[in-house]
A = this chain, B = another copy of it.
C-alpha cells in the first residue's frame, strides 16, 4: 500500500461513465422530436460527453482500481456528470452562438450557478429547484424531461454506490448495510459490481415502468385530475424511484387527484427501501422484508410521524397567520384548514404523503405544508434527519444508523451500571464489529456538524449580500440539501424554491448536495493529504 493513488485509472472510469451517459440522452432527443422541438441542446451534450469521456478514458486504457481509487472515482463522477448536465439548461437559455438562437432566454437556468444547482440537485436526486417557472410552456418538453431524467440516472448510480461500492469501502459504517443477511451476502449476489448493477437496475427499471403504467392508467380512467397525461406519468415515474422529487408541475403532486397521491405513496416507500432487500424479496423470499430490523424501523418511523401529523392536522394545527412573503395566501390557508380539520381521509393522506416523502427524502408535496402549524412543520424538519434505508436511493443519515446508535446508547447505559460486563451491539442476532459501530457514530456526528456549520455559512453569506433569511429557512435549507430531500420551509418551501439565495450560497449548497449524496466521508477522504501520500 505504499503506492500512490492511480488517479488516471479513476478518471478513466469517470470517462466511461460519461460515455454511457450518451445512451439515456437519447430520451430527451426522442421527446424533442415528438414535440417538434430542436434537438440541438442534446446533440451538443452528447458530443461534449463523448469527447470528454473519450479523452478521460485515454488516461488509462485498461483501468484497474482499488479501494483508494474508488473514492476518487465516486467523488469525481457526480461532479463531472452534474457539470455536463448543465449543457441543455444553458443552451435553452443562451442558444449556441452562430448556430441556434436562445429558446427561452428568460429561463433562470441561464445563470450558470443556477444551472449547476439544478443539475447537481437532479443527479444527487435532491429535488431542490431554482427554476423560476416550473412549467413546460416556459421550457421545452425536451429540457423538462432531461431535468426529470437526471434524477432517474442519479438514482441508478446511487443504487450501485449504496449496495455495491460504499460497503466495500467500509466507510461510515456502510459495511453494516448487509449485516443482517446471513444467506447470500451482497458480495455473493454478484461477484462483480457490474453484475450487481445489472440485477438491481432490472428491478429499478421494472418498478419505474409499473408506476408509470399505474399513473397513466388512472389518467385513462379519468381518476387522476386534469393535469395528468402520458408525459406527466413518465415524468413522475422517473423521479419517484430515485427519491428525487422533481415535478414538471409547479404545485408538485397537489396538481393531481387524491388517487394519484395514494398511488405514489407506496412507490416512495419502495424507493426508500434497501434495494438488496427488495431484490431478495422479489427473488422469492418476501419474508426477508418483515424479518429485517431496518425495514421495520423504517416503517415504524414513518408510521409514528404520520400518526402525530395526522393528529395535529385533524385537530386544526395550522399556521395562525400568513407571514409576509409566504408561498400561500389567506384564502388557501382558510380553505385547506377547513378541508382538513376534522376530516380523517385528507388529514391522514397529507400526513402520510409528507411523512413518507420527507423520510424517504423524495421531497414531493401533496399540499403547501408551510401553512401547517409549527409542530407539524417541525415533524417534517425532524424527518429530514431520519433518512431512508441504507442501500436505497434515500439520503440523510439513514434508519440503520439510528438503530445502531440507539443500541449503542443502550449498551453504554448497561455498561455504566455494570462496568465489568462485556456486551457487543447486536443486530439481527449478529454481534457488530466495533469498527463499523464507530464508523456509524463518526458519520452521524460528522453529518450533524456539517449541517450546523452549513446553515452557519448560508447565514453569513446571505448577510454578506444584505439579505435576511429566517433562522428556520437557513436551518431547513442546509438540512434539506445535505440530506438530498429537496424542499425546505417558507420561501424555500414546496411551492417556493431556492432562487432567493445569492449565487455563492447556491454553489455552497451544490457542495452540500454532493457531499450528502456521497455520505460525506468518501469526499473528505480525497481531501486529506494522507490520501495522496504513501
Contact = CB atoms under 8 A, between A and B. Distances in A.
A137 interface: no
A52 B169 CA distance: 60
Contact of A445 (B171, B317, B378, B445): B445
Contacts of A373: 463, 468
A438 B440 CA distance: 11
Contact of A319 (B381, B456, B460, B468): B468
A409 B528 contact: no
A412 interface: yes
Nearest to A439: B412
The 9 closest A-B pairs by CB, nearest first: A375-B459, A375-B463, A441-B441, A417-B531, A378-B459, A412-B442, A320-B468, A171-B416, A471-B472
A398 interface: no
A468 B410 CA distance: 35
A525 B417 contact: yes
Contact of A438 (B412, B489, B525): B412
A374 B441 contact: no
A448 interface: yes
A385 B419 CA distance: 29
Interface in A472-524: 472, 474-475, 489, 521-522, 524
A169 B412 CA distance: 12
Interface in A406-453: 408-410, 412-414, 416-420, 434, 437-439, 441-446, 448-449, 452
A378 B524 contact: no
Contact of A420 (B1, B374, B472): B1
Nearest to A534: B418
12 contacts: A1-B418, A317-B463, A374-B462, A374-B469, A379-B459, A413-B524, A417-B531, A418-B534, A437-B438, A445-B445, A472-B472, A475-B475
B413 A455 contact: no
Contacts of A68: 417
Nearest to A476: B471
A405 B459 contact: no
B528 A414 contact: yes
Interface in A106-138: none
A470 interface: yes
A319 B489 CA distance: 19
A472 B475 CA distance: 10
A335 interface: no
B441 A442 contact: yes
Most buried by B among A68, A412, A472, A534: A412
Contacts of A418: 1, 530, 534
